[in-house]
Amino acid sequence: MTVTERHKIDLTENGFTTIDDIYSDKEIEQILLTIDQADNDKETFRKSDDIFAIRQFLKEISETTNLVFNDKLKNVVGQLFGDNYFVVKSIYFDKPETSNWYVSYHQDLTISVDKKVELENFGPWTTKQNQFAVQPPIDILENIYTIRIHLDDTDENNGALRVIPKSHSKKIYRPETIDWTTETETSCKVSKGGIMITKPLILHSSSRTTNNKKRRVIHIEFSNQELPTELKWAERLN
């Protein structure tokens, strides 16, 4: 595993990159075992026929933190983001083999915070499972990086992300305004144990599963920005 200049350029210019071989099969097995042993009756655990998701993942299953942040991942964070970045959100997604769960093109426009307060340029607000989320000023979103840790081989047949390269540089970009005569779509295949790194403003979507294979992903967001004193990151982890 090596972070190259190409990874840095792809992330800056195109809004995404992938890096293989961050986790061994044994490391993935240990992460999944720890998840399986967790108490899944908490309200942050969401279960349906099409998806199993755990919000505030690193907080709810803190035993996974040292497993997730192995030396290779810490090296990637340091080289691509910088030493001053910290975790601000974490979610675990388990898309079952028969899932019809489809996500249309969108940007990730909200952050998770500790409470709802009226602040200029912060809004609209939403609440999911007692978790407050708000759309912050654009400069906060532009400074966030997302790492998606792939616990299974993932391609276009079991829900690999599809992205529109360079769309992250266009600020707020409404999906209904996509001009397909000028934009292109890329399907991001990632091997088990690899990671995909994105900017949250990149337009991305996910298809239904058609190959009867699982797609399990740990989604972690990082920022180096402090919020106004009235607010705190809900899941801050240094």
Output the CATH code of domain 5-223.
2.60.120.620
Question: What amino acid is encoded at 174 in this protein?
Answer: R
Q: Which residues of the chain have pLDDT under 50?
A: none
215: left (phi over 0), alpha (psi -120 to 50) or beta: beta
C-alpha dihedral (75, 78, 79, 80), degrees to nearest 10 = 110
pLDDT at 192: 98
pLDDT at 53: 87
Give the mean pLDDT of the chain: 92
pLDDT at 190: 98
**208: CB partners within 8 A, 6+ apart:** 99, 100, 101, 102, 159
Instruction: Give the residue carrying structure tokens 């276009």.
Output: 156
pLDDT at 94: 87
**Domain ranges within the chain, ordered by starting residue:** 5-223
Sheet holding 186-187, edge to edge: 103-106, 204-206, 161-163, 186-187
